[in-house]
Amino acid sequence: MSDVSKGLVLVVEDERPIADLLRLYLSREGFGVQVERDGLAGLDAARRLRPVACVLDIALPGLEGTELCRRLRADGDWTPVIFLTARDDEIDRILGLELGGDDYITKPFSPRELVTRVKALLRRAAVHEEASRVRAAGPVTLDPARRAVTVWDRPLTLTATEFDLLAHLLSRPGRVFTREELLATVWGYTSHGGTRTVDVHVAQVRAKLGEASRVIRTVRGVGYTADA
Ligand code: CA
CA of 57 to the centre of ligand 1 (A): 6
pLDDT at 106 over 50: yes
Beta carbons within 10 angstroms of residue 34's beta carbon: 20
More confident residue, 151 or 191: 151
CA of 56 to the centre of ligand 1 (A): 9
* Domain limits for position 164: 129-226
CA of 25 to the centre of ligand 1 (A): 19
pLDDT at 25 over 70: yes
Both 134 and 194 in one domain: the answer is yes
Both 175 and 194 in one domain: the answer is yes
Environment class of 100 (CB within 10 Å of its CB; exposed 0-12, middle 13-18, buried 19+):
middle
Exposure pattern of 150-185 as b/e (b: 16+ CB <10 Å)?
A: ebeeeebebeeebbbbbbbbbbeeeeebebebbbee
Confidence grade of residue 2 (pLDDT, cut at 50, 70, 90):
very low
Which pLDDT does position 112 carry in this prediction?
93
Both 139 and 202 in one domain: the answer is yes
CA of 196 to the centre of ligand 1 (A): 61
Q: Is residue 152 part of a domain?
A: yes
Last residue of a domain, one of 76, 101, 125: 125
pLDDT average, residue stretch 153-174:
92
Residues, CB within 5 angstroms of ligand 1 (ion): 14, 57, 59
CA of 58 to the centre of ligand 1 (A): 6
Please write the tens of the pLDDT for every residue from 51-66: 999 999 999 999 999 9
Cis preceding linkage at 108, omega within 30: yes
Both 180 and 208 in one domain: the answer is yes
Number of domains in the chain: 2
Q: Are 209 and 137 in contact (CB under 8 A)?
A: no
CA of 15 to the centre of ligand 1 (A): 6
Please write the tens of the pLDDT for every residue from 175-204: 999 998 898 888 887 766 678 889 999 999
Q: Is residue 3 part of a domain?
A: no
Mean pLDDT of all residues belonging to the chain:
89
CA of 87 to the centre of ligand 1 (A): 12
**Global model pTM greater than 0.75:** no
